[in-house]
Structure 1
Amino acid sequence: MNGLRQCKYNVGIDIGGTKVNIGIFQKTGQLVDKVKIPSQQGEDIEIFVDRIGCELKRLAQKCGIMIEEIEFIGLGVPGTVDMRSGIVEYCPNLFWDMVPLKEYFQTIFLKQEIQVIQDSWAGALAEHEFGAGIGYADMTCITLGTGIGGGIIANNRIFSGGMHCAGEIGHTIIEKDGRGCNCGNCGCLEKYASGNGIYEQALEYFPEKLRGMKEGAESVFELAYQGYEPALRLIENSVQMLAVGLANLVGIISTEAIIISGGLCEHEELILKPLQKYILEYGYHSWTRQNRLVVRQAKLGSDAPMIGAAFIYKGLGI
């Protein structure tokens, strides 16, 4: 890693359940170009990696960049990762279990430094280095989308924890014996405050109002903006549940900023503003009285995991 300070280009690859985002960056963080390709569940891992490698080589050629000029390749994946070994320990969206992803990529890119990271951690790192989290040594980025993900930055570094699963706030139990979750537990925060959680509750509480509307949480928000009281109450309750989870998080790790990303972060009046109020209401007096906690919208959008992956070493203190 000593040569990284003289490198010309970094690459960030964000591997998702349906798509892969590939970006080439200057070491300053400036995006050179990017491309998106589909991912396929159940695809042979070697074929998948080779397909990504070929696409990266095509993108580099398009930009007039030789592969030798790329010094670092970061890989973000939606699962539990051991960053020391580069092994993806568990990734249900891609049906991966103990996949040595770094090793696979190293067989194609022999001279590049390669690191693997969980995508939500990569998103948090990107916001810390280039987005809404600049200036905060201790911050957490929460992704509110179909589920709830989280990445923690502690003392300007990625916090992974001893079992490589730090930040899984979506699967903390917020209600004992509550709603069943896909993870196998009941009462997970994700089942109450994520996009899917909100929509599933709406289908139970007022299915007739959703007939003919697009599937998903945005239809619930559309009804709320129209003044439909049951939708407004549901969203408020979801925000309160999320605030309880985040107040507990702040009490445990003493984070000073919470950055909200994902599709639901666009709803400032219904999500962001009441969220900060409720967090302070439910939090421990020792830190709430300081009134220092910042809750703000992320800046980098859906590219954040790709950007963070390209600069993993910044979050490792290297």
Structure 2
Amino acid sequence: MQTDLVAALDIGGTKIAGALVDGHGRILVRAQRPTPAREDGDTVMRAVEEVLAELTATPQWSAVTVIGIGSAGPVDASTGTVSPVNVPGWRAFPLVERVRAVTGGLPVELIGDGVAITAAEHWQGAARGHDNALCMVVSTGVGGGLVLGGRLHAGPTGNAGHIGHICVDLDGDPCPCGSRGCVEGIASGPNIARRALAGGWRPGPDGDTSAAAVAAAARAGDPVAVASFERAAQALAAGIAATATLVEIDIAVVGGGVGKAGEVLFAPLRTALKSYATLSFVRGLTVVPAEMGTDAGLVGAAAAALARRGSASGAGVG
């Protein structure tokens, strides 16, 4: 019989993905549904139940003893509830209770999606071998998670390491979170594009105004596009350096759609980091691209579930 087999869910505003994952991080079975993000909470839950139904119908399901969930947040692992910003029908939604109800009462480990991706990068990806790391997702929003002392540090509610809402500009624009001048308000994909457009950058004939289009323009030397990425890199550097100074990480891993921009982002990020990470114990901090890709959420949710069960040898989470 298959051992160390866990079920994993990766829940976001676009898709609900599920998988059966073994103790080496290999995905054996997959299922997926679009997220009905604009529908009521029960409709969203039905999509989750359909994904779980596919998984429970497989022969391998009998070996599953725990379920890991990485969800868009905020999440509250202490109550088993989720309130994803991009799924309005779920506010303090009892996701853990509902998942247990349709899976025969199996134990469930709930963490935020940024924390899940951190678990994956530490177990299988760019942060492997590092005991103290920050992993970030820079996309439509900016999220993240921490590994401290060789173990995933999710915090009491499962949200620790949410670097997107560190303030890096005291007089900056108001953020939807209620604060102002947050990393996310400067470095997220939509805000990179917004700043470029406000500065006079214009898209090509295809009309693409995404951050990826701005990145392409920056690679071609457009000064406004370059400046928008440099500003994003400065905000990320300030947030990374603040985190490193506080908890002594030695590596920061940057993934997500914006992270795929390559040296357009990473070159100014490394330069800016030298200006912010100045104390002796953070000068050796390195910044690298993420490695895990689109499966990171599933693999990370599985890693957290394995750690909960106490059998995640090599997963480095807990």
Q: Measure, in 2, the Cα distance between the counterparts of 1:220 and 1:208.
A: 9
The partner residue of 2:233 within 227, 233, 239 is: 239
5 Å matches for 1:307-318? Answer: 307-314=299-306, 318=310
Q: Measure, in 2, the Cα distance between the counterparts of 1:201 and 1:42.
A: 28
Paired residue type of 1:94: V
2:299 corresponds to 1:303:
no
Deviates more, 1:122-131 or 1:186-195: 186-195
Paired residue type of 1:10: V
The answer (yes or no) to whether the contact 2:37–2:44 under 8 Å persists in 1 is: no
Paired residue type of 1:296: V
5 Å matches for 1:93-132? Answer: 93-95=86-88, 96-132=90-126
Classify 1:163/1:49 alpha carbon distance in 2 versus 1 (closer, same or farther; 3 Å): closer
The answer (yes or no) to whether the contact 1:203–1:210 under 8 Å persists in 2 is: no
Residues 238-279 of structure 1, C-alpha deviations (whole Å, 9 max, x = no match): 212211121111111111111111012223321223323321
Residues 184-212 of structure 1, C-alpha deviations (whole Å, 9 max, x = no match): 33211112111111011112111545675
Partner of 1:29: 25
Residues 68-89 of structure 1, C-alpha deviations (whole Å, 9 max, x = no match): 222221111111223244222x
**RMSD of aligned C-alpha atoms?**
2.3
Q: Which runs of 5+ in 2 are unaligned?
A: 311-318
Deviates more, 1:203-212 or 1:23-32: 203-212
Partner of 1:18: 14
Q: Classify the secondary structure of the residue corresponding to 1:129.
A: helix
Normalised to the residue count of structure 2, the TM-score between the two structures is: 0.88
Classify 1:227/1:153 alpha carbon distance in 2 versus 1 (closer, same or farther; 3 Å): same
Paired residue type of 1:91: P
Paired residue type of 2:252: I
5 Å matches for 1:25-104? Answer: 25-59=21-55, 61=57, 64-88=58-82, 90-95=83-88, 96-104=90-98
Q: Measure, in 1, the Cα distance between the counterparts of 2:212 and 2:20.
A: 33
The answer (yes or no) to whether the contact 2:111–2:154 under 8 Å persists in 1 is: no
Residues 18-40 of structure 1, C-alpha deviations (whole Å, 9 max, x = no match): 21111111222111132321111
Partner of 1:275: 269
Q: Which runs of 5+ in 1 are unaligned?
A: 1-5
Q: Measure, in 2, the Cα distance between the counterparts of 1:172 and 1:264.
A: 18
Q: Measure, in 2, the Cα distance between the counterparts of 1:315 and 1:71.
A: 12
Deviates more, 1:209-218 or 1:108-117: 209-218
Partner of 1:170: 164
The answer (yes or no) to whether the contact 2:78–2:157 under 8 Å persists in 1 is: no
Residues 107-142 of structure 1, C-alpha deviations (whole Å, 9 max, x = no match): 111152222111110000011111111111111111
What number of residue pairs does the alignment pair up? 309
Q: Classify the secondary structure of the residue corresponding to 1:91.
A: coil
The partner residue of 2:207 within 209, 213, 222 is: 213
Q: Measure, in 2, the Cα distance between the counterparts of 1:249 and 1:187.
A: 16
Paired residue type of 2:109: Q
Classify 1:233/1:26 alpha carbon distance in 2 versus 1 (closer, same or farther; 3 Å): same
The answer (yes or no) to whether the contact 1:12–1:310 under 8 Å persists in 2 is: yes
Q: Measure, in 2, the Cα distance between the counterparts of 1:83 and 1:155.
A: 21
Q: Classify the secondary structure of the residue corresponding to 1:41.
A: coil
Identity between Structure 1 and Structure 2 (%)? 29
